[in-house]
Amino acid sequence: MYVRPVRRPRRYVAKHWMLLLRPLFGYNFTRDAYVMRGIGLRFGPVLRPDRRVRREAPVEGVDQRRRTSLA
């Protein structure tokens, strides 16, 4: 069996693109990612749904710190 010396990087893709590409890609449980059907175990892209959390900019004029009342 051929062992690839460098792991293929995971590419994060928006959920709507994953729905469109679903006929071409199958989920691989060992990789926890989607790979191309037929050749994906050795070649091609490795895709993951973009679930990363985006940091939002703080809202102007709103104090986001937790207040504790000592009274």
User: Model confidence over 8-30: pLDDT tens digits?
Assistant: 888 999 989 989 999 999 999 98
What is the model's pLDDT at position 70? Answer: 61
Indicate the number of domains in the chain. Answer: 1
Higher pLDDT, 45 or 5: 45
Would residue 2 count as lying in a domain? no
Q: Are 26 and 55 in contact (CB under 8 A)?
A: no
SS3 65: coil
Domain range for residue 30?
10-49
Q: Find tokens 């460098």 and name the residue.
A: 6
pTM: 0.61
Would residue 57 count as lying in a domain? no
What is the model's pLDDT at position 47? Answer: 92
> For residue 12, how far is the Cα from the chain centroid?
4
What is the model's pLDDT at position 50? Answer: 84
Would residue 60 count as lying in a domain? no
